[in-house]
Structure 1
Amino acid sequence: MDFGIEGKIAIITGGGTGIGNAIARTFHEEGATVVINGRSKERIEAAATAIGPRAHGVVADLMAPEGAKALAEYTGGLGPVSFLINNVGVFDVNDFFEVSDERWTQYFEHNIMTAVRITRIVMKDMLARNEGSIVFISSEAAIRSIGNMVPYSVTKTAMLGLGRSLAELTRGTSVRVNSYMPGTTATESVETYFADLARQQGKTVEETLRDFYREVQPSNLTQKLIDPMLHGRGVVQLATNPAMNGVTHRADGGTIRSIFG
């Protein structure tokens, strides 16, 4: 299928690993020029090289306004940005009663403000050109709130509100803003988490995952971690479908019992 993105420019924030990297690879495979960012020059350039010849790695920390400006300016030198995928985010398992105010602030900086800063720049240009598509990478935790991941769940819920609110600003234009909710995915960080948990429990990773789906996500219909590349395809489809604006696309393996999304 031709998604019509050959020669167009896409920013995938982060993009060095995990779901962001899978999204960047898919955009590149479809002929787009891809720009990813990170804080380590060596790592982000290596990731860009692995993606392919039309991939660019930029050292830019979106935790600061200067980082968003640097990313936007570098990409602007390549041409107009047609796609912005807000992928940067963090997660960990924690005890709500032990999470400090400082850690809460860090969560909002990582999971919300990184997206706000780069979107504020890129979206204004998209509206001026009357062309562009933005996708926020949220999580199933946005609507399936998780008790031992409260800051993560809250900030991912806030991201859905951010995406829908910005979509309201596109009324009557050819610019679109949507959100994407992946389920538990076989990224490097998730696989490390389950490997560590298996060691703590004295089990194999396979046993730990079996128990996870039996006890924590019994409603999940696939009963397995999702391949990140599946999200790459899903995000490209969402980003390029002109009929979709202001919506949330759910790709959680059926964990959330709902006929909507």
Structure 2
Amino acid sequence: MASSSKSAYSLGNVSLISVAALVAALATAPLASAQETAVPIPPPSLDEKTTASTEIAVFAGGCFWGVQGVFQHVKGVKNAVSGYAGGTAATADYETVSGGKTGHAESVEVTFDPREVTYGQLLQVFFSVAHNPTQLNYQGPDHGTQYRSALFAVTDEQKKIAAAYIAELGKSGAFPAAIVTQVSPFKGFYAAEDYHQDFLTRNPTHPYIVYNDLPKIENLRTLFPGAFRANPVLVFKAKS
């Protein structure tokens, strides 16, 4: 979202929409362009085995508005926060990261219950509908290393699962080009400014959201009906 500004989309100028309004926006959205076309893929052969009730994973796939919006609609996800990973705390702000020289990638920190949805299943959603993993250092209209495709592995197990799945997908020929997703060590996550949080749900008629991101929500609903939740889990709750 290369041209957005803080003043234009402050929390004071937007309000939470109803599920009905989101559905209506989806119905009037244009057909998905090539970069939003979902790719049906199988789940990873290797997945985690854990009895933990909470786990964190960090995904980078272009503008965090759409990636956050997708994961907010996945059952088992308890929270999805837009932010920055791959750089330091000192430069983890939108204006600085947008310069493309901080090492950060726009990312989403997903807190989930692995008893309901596994890391491998989240990876399947990430590669299939959340972004296009064959685009190097860009996603759709957004260009720069801050929009790169990356997985910041929080644990050694996540690193192993992610690397194995990328290799598996590469051999399958599911994508028309090579997957360029980086698997990087997790060094820290820094939440983005408030006006970026829940942006898709609160701004369903924003042109960027309509064209680039609403098709992803529809693709999630279509390809993963058992995992889709109509009511997204939100960072900010609606205020009466």
Same fold (TM over 0.5): no
Relative contact order: is structure 1 or structure 2 higher (C-alpha 8 Å, sep ≥ 6)? 2
Higher Rg of the two aligned structures? 1
